[in-house]
Amino acid sequence: MSALIIGSVFFSGCVIGGFGLWMKKVQNSIEHLVEQNVVLKESQSSHFQYLNTLSSDTKLHLEEVTSIIATYLEIHPHVDASMKTHAFLLHYEHTSTISPSVDECLTVLDSALGPCSTDAANANLSELHQSFVLRLLSVFDRNSISAEGLQLDGHLAHKLGVASMAVKRYDWAEHALGIAYRLSPGHEGILRHLYDISCLRGDEDLQRHWLESLMKVSPDQPDLLRAHAHLLVAMGDNEAERTVRRLEALGVDTPADKSLLSGLRARAGARSEALDAIEKALEQDPSRANDWLQYGRLLQEEGELLAAIEATEECLKINRQHGEAWALLAHMLSDDSKRHQEALKAATHAVALDAGGVDTIFLKTELLEVQGDLVAAEENLLKNLKKTPQDGELRARIADRFLKAHRIEEAQELVDATPSNIDHPLLHTVEGRLHLAKADRLRDGTGTTDKRLLQDAKKSFEDALNIHRELGVAWLGLGRTQRLLKDLEVAAESLDRARRLLPENDQNVAAESALLSLDNGDISRASQFIDAADVQGQTPMISYVRGNIAGRMGQLELAHTFYTQALDDDPSHIRARLNRAMVLIALNEGQSAVDDCVRLLSLAPNFTLARLRKGEAHMLNAEWKLALNDFKMVLEVSPQHAVALTKLGASYMALQRPERAESPLNEALRIDPNYADAWHQRGLLYLEWGKNDNALSDFEAAIRTHPGHLDAHLHIAALYHEQGQFDEAAVGWKNVLLLDPDHMVAKTRLAECEAKLMV
């Protein structure tokens, strides 16, 4: 046999043997599965037989449990109600397509409010039932079901109102109790709940309504009478005293009631009766600190300062931490210069206890200043502002203090740092005064800049008055701004309002009224106003106004004296120094005027009007180049400044540069054709160039715009005289003498003309 045949036979034998072995294993596996299946069937059969046996026992057991549950629900119906409520909530809390019917709502509401008590403050609701009420109300809200729409009866409405109060749903409580009240008017419990809601809302008128309704039901209940009295006091109603008198008549008034009566009598201006009431309260119960404090205040108002101090000290013996008592004591002690140290200690206690308000904070500062501790004085203000940055009054008064000290930048920083949620009228007032102060330091004399700054000030004062219509200082600031804007009639009305609202001895109102009278040309009335203000003592403002009055009357030396007095007391008084510089120029004291202007520019570097006056003073001193530089600086800020352009032209002419003078003079006349000095100055330029006809025309234009321009009249008369036109010259010299009857040149030349005309 060949090897191939032998290999094939061997391979076939291996395959057949392997297949046989696999078949054997498969047979064994099938036999094992059959055996397991038989065992499983036997096991299942046995298990089903057991279950059939058990089912009958279980059925009996379930029937017993059902019976027990039914019995339990009969004994405890609220559990059944809770289950129904829960089922209702499960159904309607998670669906937005189906709304419950009114009957369903009433049924579930009755179930949920079953344990609710209308007498207990918390309605005796468990946490579970409070949760039910909240969830039910949410379902009602989502389905736009209101208390009125539920068609509640009086009892259920009352229970719903009380339950709603317990879960702090006061909107539902108010509506439900309102329904209950309509169905059961005069029900004391409902009225009390409605009164409680009005207290929570803080509605005083509503509180009064429900409280007085309660008092009709129970007219002699002391707690109601006391609540009514305190409410009327808070509302400022004088009927409160009648209620307290009822307590007194019932014989149930307490020391606290007597104290309240004392306060009412004090408010009515009957201080003797108020003192009598508080003394009775203290006799009955001397342990009430607040009564001693009230006693001290009343004694202070009566002028019995020593007794007031003793009463306040009694208050502090009872309560050492009574801040208002420390504040009152500080104010009373500060009136005695020998007790300033004690006053400072009391003020320190009051401020530390956040008592006494802004007045006490400032009192502490003033007392520190009296002792010479200026650093601590200012630290006291800034420390308290840092502690209470939301206090608009404190911030405004500190800014006002800085402003009075001419610390304008610091005052502005305080105002700018005001929190955005603070809107206090005094802050707007200070802001308006800041605008006025800046206007004083930025004026250029044209009126344009002034008007823009003054309009900003006006708006600030008006904003203050929109918040507090009876704020006197805002009316005062508005009146001054309107005067500066030349709205004199409106300014007078504003000052009248300020005068009625501010104390009679307020010097600022009198001073501003005097300035308004001057602007109206009434010097006599201005003097009356300032004389009335002077009674309260001399101040820089009064000296300044007196200087203005003297200047208006042509009494320049006297005006200089008054302005100097003002500056001695307040060296940074901008308007007084500027006016003194103008008087010095008029008195031909050029160097002193320059000195004042230099000081003004050191205080206010951008004060263009001071720069203009400085240039004029240099002209008076024949310092033409210095004057020229000042006028150029003015024109850099205000290119349309007709006065500066005219003075610039005059300076060029004085420097023998007339060719440079014509352009600024022409520009000045283009800007202000009614400016007489510009016409006169250009006339002088034409004289310099020998253009007499042009010069004469300009001098005549100067007189048309300002008939009292003496120099223009002089030049016209002189031109006619030089030209031999003696008729016209004589008329010209007569016009000069009408303005200045003692003018010697005019008298001499007029005589010459008359002599020539007689020949």
For residue 69, the model assigns a pLDDT of: 42
**pLDDT-wise least confident of 141-150, 423-432, 663-672:** 141-150
Question: Angle of helix 642-654 relative to helix 662-671, nearest 10 degrees?
Answer: 160
pLDDT at 446: 79
Looking at residue 549, its amino acid is I
Q: How far apart are the first and last CA of the chain?
A: 189
pLDDT of 251 above 60: no
pLDDT above 60 (res 756): yes
What per-residue confidence (pLDDT) applies to 289?
86
Angle between helices 323-333 and 305-318 (to 10 degrees): 150
- Mean pLDDT of all residues in 106-132: 70
The confidence band for 649, taking pLDDT boundaries of 50, 70 and 90, is very high
Comparing 447-461, 475-489, 585-599, which segment has the lowest mean pLDDT?
Answer: 447-461
pLDDT at 745 over 70: yes
pLDDT at 54: 45
Hey, which bits of 403-495 come out as E strands?
A: none
Would the pLDDT of 486 be above 80?
Answer: yes
More reliable by pLDDT, 603 or 284: 603
- pLDDT 10s digits, 84-115: 666 676 667 666 667 777 777 777 777 777 66
Q: If you ran DSSP here, which 8-state letter would residue 572 be given?
A: T
* Alpha carbons 434 and 411: distance in angstroms, whole number: 8
- Report yes or no on whether pTM surpasses 0.95: no
3-class SS letters over 209-272: HHHHHHHHHCCCCHHHHHHHHHHHHHHCCCCHHHHHHHHHHHCCCCHHHHHHHHHHHHHCCCHH
Return the structure tokens found at 320: 């050492």
What does 18-84 look like in DSSP terms, one character per residue? HHHHHHHHHHHHHHHHHHHHHHHHHHHHHHHHHHHHHHHHHHHHHHHHHHHHHHHHHH-HHHHHHHH
Residue-wise DSSP of 383-401: HHHHH-TT-HHHHHHHHHH
Between CA 561 and CA 539 the distance in angstroms is 14
| Whether the predicted pLDDT of 58 surpasses 90 | no
Q: Which residues contact 750 (CB under 8 A, 6 or more apart)?
A: 730, 733, 734, 737
* pLDDT tens column, 202-242: 777 777 776 667 767 666 666 666 666 665 555 555 665 56
521's torsion region: left (phi>0), alpha (psi -120 to 50) or beta? left
DSSP-derived secondary structure letter, 373: -
> pLDDT tens across 319-340, in order?
999 999 999 999 999 988 899 9
Give the pLDDT of residue 171.
Answer: 83
- Chain-centroid distance of CA 472 in Å reads 16
Residue entry with tokens 């003015």: 634
Rounded average pLDDT over 288-302: 84
Residue 529 near residue 538, CB atoms below 8 Å: no
Residues 261-294 have pLDDT tens digits of 455 444 544 556 667 777 777 877 888 888 888 8
Spell out the alpha helix ranges (H) of 535-573.
Answer: 540-552, 556-569
Question: Residue 163: helix, strand or coil by DSSP?
Answer: helix
